[in-house]
């Protein structure tokens, strides 16, 4: 039995613009399991990013509840929410969003400012991450001196520096070429195998194949939920067919 790490109850998220209400997420009941690599797919504008922002606490929800490790986080505000975010979640943004005037090392370190974490363990963590992502020799470089793939790896290090319970990623391979994308996906696979819970939005079939569960979002609701645990990882053909047919049946 897997533990539920995130649960939503009747989650709604709406935007109001020009006096019009846009109900993006509609009465969503969803469980996300600890240790899973959960993929969120759906057509452009279906609300994938909105869902990710809502369940991670990055954005306020309109109504309903979001539980993180059984704690209702939907009513947390200000400092309490900020500290939960810093201590428990890591987020890789769609646009990478590194701080241009900080070098690689400082970018990765930036979420640790104002945390109560011990400096020694942070430093050990950062050198371990730099090592794993083959970035050690780049740590003094600035973002504009690096390739897209390298920058995305820095963004992943930054998201992991506080050992988050859940790593969220919004189309992390969206702006990368295919070999850079593969490299970044290998990192996600690697950290998932080490027990990290991941929730990733993607448009990319190859990226989706890395997950063990695929949620398909349509009109603010979950229209499909494919669990891949029982499909042998080595048997990639069977897995690929499964995912391909699932997405096809959803009109992807
Ligand atoms: N900050 C915002 N203000 C107003 N509307 C928004 C905002 N963010 C998203 N939306 C709207 O919500 C819908 C879903 O957007 P989004 O979650 O970005 O979709 P996806 O990530 O699936 O492409 C779109 O109609 C978009 O215009
Ligand atoms: Mg999006």
Q: pLDDT tens-digit profile of 58-97? A: 999 999 999 999 999 988 888 888 888 888 999 999 888 8
Q: Ligand 1 in contact with 49 (CB < 6 A)?
A: yes
Pick the closest to residue 166 from 132, 193, 200 (CA basis).
200
Comparing 231 with 121, which gets the higher pLDDT? 121
pLDDT, tens digit (0-9, with 9 covering 90-100), for 15-73: 999 999 999 999 999 999 999 999 999 999 999 999 999 999 999 999 999 999 999 99
Token pair in block for residue 199: 């929730």
**Ligand 2 center–CA 169 separation, angstroms:** 10
pLDDT at 113: 82
pLDDT band at 146 (very low <50, low <70, confident <90, very high): very high
CATH number of 4-249: 3.40.50.300
In this structure, the residue with its CA closest to atom 2 of ligand 1 is 15
The closest-lying atom of ligand 1 relative to the alpha carbon of residue 46 is 22
Atom of ligand 1 nearest to the CA of 16: 4
Q: What is the pLDDT of residue 117?
A: 75
Does residue 116 carry a pLDDT above 80?
A: no
Distance CA(99)–CA(106), nearest Å, equals 9
**What own/partner pairs with CB < 8 Å and gap ≥ 24 does 143-149 have?**
143/98, 143/99, 143/100, 143/104, 143/107, 144/100, 146/104, 147/180, 148/96, 148/175, 148/176, 148/177, 148/180, 149/176, 149/177, 149/179, 149/180, 149/181, 149/183, 149/184
**Would you state the structure tokens that stand for residue 99, as one six-digit string?**
């701080």
Cβ < 5 A residues, ion ligand 2 = 48-49
What is the model's pLDDT at position 29? 97
Q: Check if 42 has its Cβ closer than 6 Å to any atom of ligand 1.
A: yes
Sorting pLDDT into bands at 50, 70 and 90, what band is 200? very high
Indicate the domain borders of the chain.
4-249
Q: In the structure, what pLDDT confidence band is assigned to residue 118 with cuts at 50, 70 and 90?
A: confident
- What is the structure's pLDDT at 221? 94
Q: Is the CB of 22 under 6 A from ligand 1?
A: yes
Mean pLDDT estimate for the chain: 92
**What is the share, in percent, of the chain residues with pLDDT greater than 70?**
99
Shortest-distance atom of ligand 1 to CA 52? 17
Indicate the range of 66-75, 181-190, 234-243 predicted with least confidence.
234-243
Question: H or E element: which one contains 24?
Answer: strand 20-33
178 or 66, higher pLDDT: 66
Q: Is the Cβ atom of 249 under 6 angstroms away from ligand 1?
A: no
């Amino acid at each position: 039995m897997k533990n539920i790490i995130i649960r939503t109850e009747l989650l709604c998220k709406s935007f109001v613009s020009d006096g019009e209400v846009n109900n993006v997420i509609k009465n969503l009941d969803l469980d996300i399991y600890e240790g899973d690599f959960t993929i969120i797919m759906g057509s452009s504008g279906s609300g994938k990013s909105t869902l990710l922002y809502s369940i991670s606490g990055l954005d306020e929800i309109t109504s309903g509840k979001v539980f993180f490790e059984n704690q209702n986080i939907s009513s947390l505000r200000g400092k309490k929410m900020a500290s939960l975010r810093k201590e428990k979640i890591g987020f890789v943004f769609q646009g990478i969003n590194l701080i241009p005037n900080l070098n690689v090392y400082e970018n990765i370190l930036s979420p640790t400012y104002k945390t109560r974490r011990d400096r020694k363990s942070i430093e050990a963590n950062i050198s371990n991450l730099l090592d794993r992502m083959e970035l050690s020799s780049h740590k003094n470089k600035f973002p504009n001196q690096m390739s897209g793939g390298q920058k995305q790896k820095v963004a992943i290090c930054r998201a992991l520096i506080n050992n988050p319970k859940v790593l969220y990623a919004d189309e992390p391979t969206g702006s990368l070429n295919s070999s850079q994308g593969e490299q970044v996906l290998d990192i996600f696979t690697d950290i998932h195998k080490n027990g990290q819970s991941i929730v990733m939005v993607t448009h990319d079939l190859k990226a989706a194949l890395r997950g063990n569960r695929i949620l398909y979002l349509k009109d603010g609701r979950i229209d499909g939920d494919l669990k891949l645990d029982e499909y042998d990882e080595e048997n990639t053909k069977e897995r690929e067919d499964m995912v391909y047919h699932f997405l096809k049946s959803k009109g992807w």
